[in-house]
Structure 1
């Protein structure tokens, strides 16, 4: 698996100057290191297909962990679900794996699944900023994987912009 840190640094827990600077700048945090170590163990033992995939970031919110990855050609959604289940058992929190994308709609569809996204509206605020509103059907509200507020903050962190979820 392609990772932002050196393999030796992650395995040993002692970081070289480059890896330490990534930690100091906040591009990688201690939780990322923990998750990367678990993913490398899984790659060696159960999931050889992880070799061509790339790790981007892990976001932890309450009882939900979101992994942002770039899948390799041999990884599909079913294999990522199996990886997420193994990580759930180890971390004792719910894990969702998202394919890294610049599209808010694609990220929302992956994160909110099995609930369907009706659409994404762009709201231009008077101060010149942009807010995205993700619309979800009222009948599918119970199918959301977590509370709407947690999902909103997750999408906001992923895309570095304000995101709201509206149930209609």
Structure 2
């Protein structure tokens, strides 16, 4: 798996100057090192397909960890679900793996699954900023993988913009 840090640094736990600068600057969080280490262990073990995948970021919101990845064409969603379950066992946290996307709707559909996304509205605020409102059916609230505020926080961090989830 392609990761932003050196393999040796992740394996040993001792970071070289380049990797330490990435952590100090905030481009890589400290807990992401554990996530990368777990992914490398899974790649060596039962998930050889991970060698062609690219890891971008892990976002922690509450007890939920969201991994942004880019996968090769051969990887399907069922394989990613198995990898997420294996990571949950290693990290003792709930894990969701989503494909890196520029579309807020695509990210929301992947993250909120199995709950259905009814739509994404764009709200232009008086100060000139933009806020996105993701609509989810009221009867599917229980299908959300975490509470709405954690999911809002995660989507806001993924796309660097304000995101709200409205259950209607």
Deviation per CA, 1:28-78: give whole Å up to 9, x if none.
Answer: 121111100000010001100000000011111111111110112221111
- Cα pair 1:69 1:98 within 8 Å, conserved: yes
Counterpart Cα distance in 2 of 1:60 and 1:40:
19
| The 10-residue stretch of structure 1 (9-18 or 115-124) with the greater mean CA deviation from structure 2 | 9-18
TM-score by length of 2: 0.97
- Higher mean C-alpha deviation, range 7-16 or range 120-129: 7-16
Q: Distance in 1 between matches of 2:13 and 2:145?
A: 33
1:45 aligns with 2:45: yes
Specify every segment of 5 or more residues in structure 2 that has no aligned partner in the other structure, as ranges. Answer: none
SS class of match (2:145)? coil
Q: Are the aligned partners of 1:114 and 1:143 in contact in 2 as well (CA < 8 Å)?
A: yes
Unaligned runs of 5+ in 1: none
Q: Distance in 2 between matches of 1:62 and 1:105?
A: 22
Alignment map for 1:1-168 (pairs within 5 Å): 1-168=1-168
The answer (yes or no) to whether the contact 1:135–1:165 under 8 Å persists in 2 is yes
Distance 2:145 2:14 in 1: 36
State the TM-score, normalizing by the size of structure 1: 0.97
Q: How many residues align?
A: 168
After the TM superposition, which segments of 4 or more aligned residues of structure 1 sit over 4 Å from their partners?
Answer: none
**Aligned alpha-carbon RMSD (Å):** 0.8
| Partner-residue secondary structure (3-state), 1:131 | strand
